[in-house]
Every structure is written in C-alpha cells, then in structure tokens.
C-alpha cells in the first residue's frame, strides 16, 4: 500500500518521520480554503481536511493523508495571514490570551474517508513591540495559521498549552498513527 501525503508542509513530513512513516509521494491539493459565511472553526477545519483528501488524485490502492490546522480565537478563524500587517493583527489579537488550535486529519482510501480532529488550548504571553517586530522581520509567520509557528521563535511566546504539541505544529501524531494503523498501514518502522 502506498501513502500519498496531500500537503506541501515540510513540518508534516518531518512529523510523520517521527513515527517511522515516509510518504511514497507528495501531492498537495489545490482547493479554495475560504471559510463559509458563519462557519465555526472546528467544522471548518474538518471540512478542509476532508476536501483536501478528496481533491488529491490517487488510485484506489493509495492511501491519501491530508490535514488542516486552524487557529480559533473564540468563533473567529485566523488563517494564514496575507501579509506582515495581517500577521501583526493576528499576533496582537492573540497576545495575552488563550486560543484554540484545531488540527483535522483526513485519510482516504478509494471512496472511504476517515477524519479525526484535535483541539489544543494555547496561551500566548503579552508581546512587547520589540518581540512582535523581531518576529515579523523573521518571516516565520508566513504560511502559518494564526501567523505563528510554535516550533520556531514563537515558542517563546507560549508559556502554556493543554493538548497535543504535534497538532499545533500541524499533525496530531497519536491520532494520525491510529488512522494509519486502522487502515492497515505500518507505522513505527525504521527509516530505510
């Protein structure tokens, strides 16, 4: 059985390697990721992961693994910022507050799709102008939900999380391993 990773994220590929999984191919889907009017963060995230899995071209014997990570501030979805100005807006909204990071994983084999999602609570410290500006200059915010990556410089902004660290990075490993094992795909194998 071949595994297709439906993601261009190097972080997801690295996380899979932690559980001994190396995708046979990488095929990022191209879908509209705009939330529907009034759509709540958790259903939105699950819908995105499933739509991504369905959008990846694959044969019936190829497993397709896709994920979506969304930062939710209450009912508000903070996606990937368009520019540094929007990244600053997101980071200032998160500063000194708790928010949820939702990561949904979808696994597709033929017409069957399995989905799991994980919600992790994250607390940001208050940010000084110096911290905010240094982070914006780093460019790490680019392409990251909520405008930050916990595995980089922004890890210093997070004094507390409750939930899955790997889910905040972009792929909840326990749930992903369970989905793969349930589909008969081997995990925890030594790298070749």
Active-site hit among 25, 30, 61, 68: 68
By C-alpha distance, which of 67, 66, 61 is closest to 110? 61
**Residue 34 is among the residues annotated as catalytic for this protein:** no
Beta bridge partner(s), residue 103: 69, 118
DSSP string computed for 86-97: HHHHHHHHHTTS
Using alpha carbons only, give the angle 123, 129, 130 rounded to the nearest 5 degrees.
100
Beta bridge partners, 118, equal 103
User: Which residues have a catalytic role annotated?
Assistant: 68
């Amino acid at each position: 059985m071949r595994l297709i990773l439906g993601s261009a994220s190097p972080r997801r590929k690295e996380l899979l390697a932690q559980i001994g999984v190396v995708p046979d191919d990488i095929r990022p889907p191209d879908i509209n990721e705009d939330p529907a009017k009034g759509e709540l963060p958790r259903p939105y995230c699950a819908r995105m992961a499933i739509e991504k899995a369905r959008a990846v071209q694959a044969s019936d014997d190829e497993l397709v693994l896709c994920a979506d990570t969304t930062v939710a501030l209450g009912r508000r979805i903070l996606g990937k910022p368009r520019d540094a100005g929007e990244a600053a807006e997101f980071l200032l909204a998160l500063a000194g507050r708790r928010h949820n990071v939702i990561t949904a994983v979808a696994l597709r084999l033929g017409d069957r799709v399995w989905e799991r999602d994980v919600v992790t609570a994250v607390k940001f410290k208050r940010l000084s102008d110096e911290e905010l500006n240094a982070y914006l200059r780093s460019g790490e915010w680019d392409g990251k939900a909520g405008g930050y990556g916990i595995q980089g410089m922004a890890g210093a902004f997070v004094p507390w999380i409750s939930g899955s660290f790997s889910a905040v990075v972009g792929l909840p490993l326990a749930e992903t391993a369970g989905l793969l094992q349930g589909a008969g795909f081997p995990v925890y194998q030594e790298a070749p």
